[in-house]
Amino acid sequence: MPFAGVPGTYNAITDVDGVAVGYRTIIRGDGPLVVGQGPVRTGVTAIHPRGLSGIGVPVMAGVHSLNGNGEMTGWAWIEECGRTEMPLLLTNTHAVGVAHDAVIRWMQQQRPTTAPLWCLPVVAETFDGKLNDINGFHVTTADVTAALEAATAGPLDEGSVGGGTGMVCYEFKGGSGTASRRVVVGEGPGFEGHRGHEGTVGVFVQANFGRRPLLTVAGAPIGRWLAEQEERAGGKDGIELPEQGSIIVVVATDLPLLPHQLKRLARRAGLGVGRSGGIGGHGSGDLFLAFSTGNAVFFGPGGGPRALLAVPDDALSPVFTAVVQATDEAILNALVANEAMVGCDGHRVPALPHDVVERWMRHMTRGPG
């Protein structure tokens, strides 16, 4: 697909040095919904901003809500102090409580030398109740622990994995997606004689939003074409859903950015969602968090003043561009990586049809073929 920008080695949030991601995917059972038994299509995603070796070292952070029908714990502390100290967890709406408790327990039991006495974890959610027995509370402390301990750097699986297992995006199978962009700040007009500084922006999404006719791929109205094709064929493939889903976007960078700058990055994730076709519907929980792995020295012991590095505000436009590009592509990657899924009561969500999308993209400059 003709996406703009230069991705990192893995085209993933893990291209930001130190970031590690782990999954726990829970799929079992078929047939009618029996609350407490299944079918189960859910999971947990754990993101370690500084990897497993950096547990307990905070990162500077900023948050933004495009539409607030959702939950991200720890939000008020990030707004107050511009930092977060814990791994970030993504799961389903009704598993926020167990995930919140489990990550505190894990920090205390598994990392006794680095776990703070006082913990405010970040746990974010989207709703998977169309495919998953969400009121059966199938995510356990052991599942959260497994996701935390499984975190690795390098290439990542995408699609129906981790917290994204039971999610639906543009009425196709959605879920977990990621992308990255290389970026240079401080060069070009206005920065004559400056060499520029290279960095990486990585994005991870848990995508569970959108109506099919709105899907836009690299500027092409793919969703509208697909919807028209389905109408001619006599009906929609899969269940029909209202625009009341949600998306969680986590933006990471190794550029040394300050909290107010990271809040600006978090806002730009909304432009990436919009570029893919999202509108931030009334019932949608569109919550974004951005963090920087720079300036670790700021969080060292002692109370004396210390120096910080930061990219000047007027050099941030290329970083904003990278956030928009990577968010847009991460959403598509969540769709492309998927297969159709059948969940509770036989509800079926189709996968994005690769062959049809490819055909439309090949011919978009001269009309559908």
Task: Give the catalytic positions in this structure.
Answer: 246, 284, 286
Query: At 242, is the secondary structure helix, strand, or coil?
Result: coil
In sequence order, what DSSP letters do the residues of 100-130 get, joined into one string? HHHHHHHHHHH-TTT--SS---EEEEE--TT
> Which of 117, 62, 128, 51 has the alpha carbon at shortest distance from 87?
51
Length of the chain: 369
Q: Which two tokens stand for residue 319?
A: 């970083």
CB crowding 282-315: b at 16 or more within 10 Å, else e: eebbbbbbbbbbbbbebeeeeeeeeeeebbeeeb
Burial class (CB in 10 A: 0-12, 13-18, 19+), 76: exposed
Which is it for the CA torsion 257, 261, 263, 265, positive or negative?
Answer: negative
Quick check: 369 and 226 in contact, CB under 8 A?
Answer: no
Quick check: 92 and 45 in contact, CB under 8 A?
Answer: no
